[in-house]
Copies of this chain bind each other. A is one copy, B any other.
Amino acid sequence: MFRFLTAGESHGEMLVAVIDGVPAGLPLTNECIDIELARRQKGYGRSERMSIEEDRVHILSGVRFGNTLGSPIALSIPNHDCQSFMDVQPVEQSSKTPDVIPRPGHADLAGCIKYGHTDIRNVLERASARETAARVVVGAVAKRILMELDILIVSHVIRIGRICEEQSSSMSLQKIQELSEASTVRCLDKTSELAMIAEIEEAASKGNTLGGVFEIAASGIPVGLGSYTHWDRRLDGELAKAVMSIPGVKGVEIGLGFRAAELPGSQVHDEIHYDGVSYTRPSNNAGGIEGGVTNGEPIIIRAAMKPIPTLRMQLQSVDMTTKKPVPAFSERSDVCAVPSAAVVGESMTAITLVTAILEKFGGDNLDELRRYFIAYNQ
């Protein structure tokens, strides 16, 4: 059982993740995790802060001599902005004028009511997307396991605001990876990239923000992850939960997704062929999942992200103390975080796949897992 908990506030001392259930014997270094943290921090449209702070993981436990022990892995990401931490978020008894104006589109107001807070900072420090950095370190460990099983996960951005990528035809995942990593908006074609950057600049100039759509693809997937036998074992459900849980995501689709609702059955379902060695599909409209179970084709997931809710162009809100109308404050100047969310999406996909793989193949150490995995796939 692969399971984890994360902790940490945006201006706290550090983010922490504890992961339990990682097989023993997995090579694990700071480097392979830091690469993922850096990928999350890149992307046109992020605020200045991002470029200053470069996240670095610190492995606290569970690894010895460069290999996992089978015991829980604790990972931390120190927050660099120490002074801010001392002012805003001290653990000890202290006082500070509370922030009392909840921002539309955030958990601020609902969080205060739920937890009985009168200072929205008690909510927003954890509700912040900063939290996803901890998911990314967990995702990096998951990806490290998947790498050993030759499973590849990539992502790219297909829409920012009104600009939609020219449809990628049948590109290999390696090619998608290469092109998206080279793009500041994780877009596969140069023309769309330039248009997306212009879209972001226009929004920025107006004090507005943008969302978009990203796509995650995973190849090397064994047949039979997830199950149709009970509703909560279906892999499409687990993936939907994992991706919908990314802050700002309001829609998730697999394969053709919403487009499948418009077409007749004869144009949707992927016929089954046999090439002399294994079953093949001439199309992958199902996005690699039929009946809640992987069918061996690449998994394709798309997610829609809403615009960042903190705008310079201020939205109307209410002072929680006086109940008077006031404009919401604008803490941070990100305009668009879709490329970053795509990287988090890879992490959540990796975590979901590793969970399913470890449930199916067991294996307390990497050798055992790999042996079972290879035997099954033959």
A1-40 contacts to B, CB under 8 A, are: 1, 3-9, 12-18, 20, 24-25, 29
Taking CB atoms, residues of chain B closer than 8 Å to A259 are 304
DSSP majority for the A interface? mixed
A213 interface hit (Cβ, 8 Å): yes
A82-130 contacts to B, CB under 8 A, are: 89-96, 102, 104-111, 113-117, 121-123, 125-127
Check if A110 sits within 8 Å of B293, measured CB to CB.
Answer: yes
Check if B250 sits within 8 Å of A364, measured CB to CB.
Answer: no
Taking CB atoms, residues of chain B closer than 8 Å to A116 are 24-25, 364-368
Nearest CB of B to A284, in Å:
12
A210-265 contacts to B, CB under 8 A, are: 210-213, 223-224, 227-232, 234, 236-245, 247, 249-265
Q: Contacts A69-B125, A241-B241, A265-B309 given: A274-B7 contact, CB under 8 Å? A: no
A59 interface hit (Cβ, 8 Å): yes
How distant is the Cα of A121 from the Cα of B135 in the complex, in angstroms? 30
Check if B251 sits within 8 Å of A257, measured CB to CB.
Answer: yes
How distant is the Cα of A96 from the Cα of B65 in the complex, in angstroms? 9
Q: Contacts A25-B115, A318-B279 given: A16-B74 contact, CB under 8 Å? A: yes
A189 interface hit (Cβ, 8 Å): no
Check if B107 sits within 8 Å of A7, measured CB to CB.
Answer: no
A73 interface hit (Cβ, 8 Å): yes
Chain B: which residue is nearest A260 at the CB level?
B306
Q: Contacts A18-B18, A255-B250 given: A293-B114 contact, CB under 8 Å? A: yes
Q: Contacts A61-B16, A115-B25 given: A104-B269 contact, CB under 8 Å? A: yes
Encoded as 1 (CB less than 8 Å from any B CB) or 0, chain A from 116 to 148 comes to 110001110111000100010000000000000
Nearest CB of B to A197, in Å:
16
Check if B95 sits within 8 Å of A65, measured CB to CB.
Answer: yes
Q: Contacts A18-B18, A162-B262 given: A13-B113 contact, CB under 8 Å? A: no
Taking CB atoms, residues of chain B closer than 8 Å to A315 are 266, 269, 271
Encoded as 1 (CB less than 8 Å from any B CB) or 0, chain A from 38 to 80 comes to 0000000000000000000001111111100111111010000
Chain B: which residue is nearest A288 at the CB level?
B110
How distant is the Cα of A234 from the Cα of B242 in the complex, in angstroms? 10
A181 interface hit (Cβ, 8 Å): no
Check if B291 sits within 8 Å of A9, measured CB to CB.
Answer: no
